[in-house]
């Protein structure tokens, strides 16, 4: 287990370049702001969507029987870069006290439904 941030790479306080966890890699579907019935939570409200996405990630982890520290990588997709500053506080709270995963962020023109503003894809290492 460990974190690697090679010298010469840009340092950030909200991700690491490499997070190593032993186990079985799991590549689940990206999580968006859908409730259990497939309804979009927080239409036109990025804060509600962010909270819903992280709550869905927690549900996914619970279903797999793993904790947040098993997430080794996140990929975040947003339809508007202006919302990125809203994501960081929730992400920091979600990973509080843990070694942060590697992370990438993309702006995309659209997601699965026009009301969705955010999607987060995680890679999980499930302990053996």
Go through the chain and tell me how many residues it has: 128
Q: What is the mean pLDDT of residues 95-110?
A: 97
C-beta of residue 78 within 8 angstroms of C-beta of residue 49: no
d(C-alpha 43, C-alpha 102), whole Å: 29
pLDDT category at 53 given cuts 50, 70, 90 is: very high
Q: What is the mean pLDDT of residues 110-121?
A: 98
Q: Over 80: is that where the pLDDT of 28 sits?
A: yes
- pLDDT for the residue numbered 1: 73
How many domains in the chain? Answer: 1
Q: What is the pTM of this model?
A: 0.94
Q: Which residues of 4-40 are buried (b: 16+ CB within 10 A; e: fewer)?
A: eeeeeeeeeeebbeebebeeeebeeebbbbbeeeeeb
Residue numbers of the domain that contains 85: 2-126
The CATH code of the domain that includes 68 is 3.30.1330.40
Q: Measure the CA angle with vertex 127, ends 24 and 10; round to 5°.
A: 75
């Amino acid at each position: 287990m460990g974190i690697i941030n090679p010298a010469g790479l840009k340092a950030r306080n909200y991700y690491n370049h490499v997070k190593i966890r032993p186990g079985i890699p799991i590549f689940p579907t990206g999580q968006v702001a859908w409730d259990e019935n497939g309804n979009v939570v927080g239409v036109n409200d990025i804060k509600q969507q962010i909270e819903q996405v992280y709550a869905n990630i927690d549900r996914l982890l619970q279903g797999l029987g793993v904790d947040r520290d098993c997430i080794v990588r996140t990929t975040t997709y947003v339809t508007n870069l202006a919302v990125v500053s809203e994501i960081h506080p929730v992400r920091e709270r979600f990973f509080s006290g843990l070694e942060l995963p590697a992370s990438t962020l993309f702006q995309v023109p659209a997601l699965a439904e026009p009301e969705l503003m955010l999607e987060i894809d995680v890679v999980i290492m499930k302990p053996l």
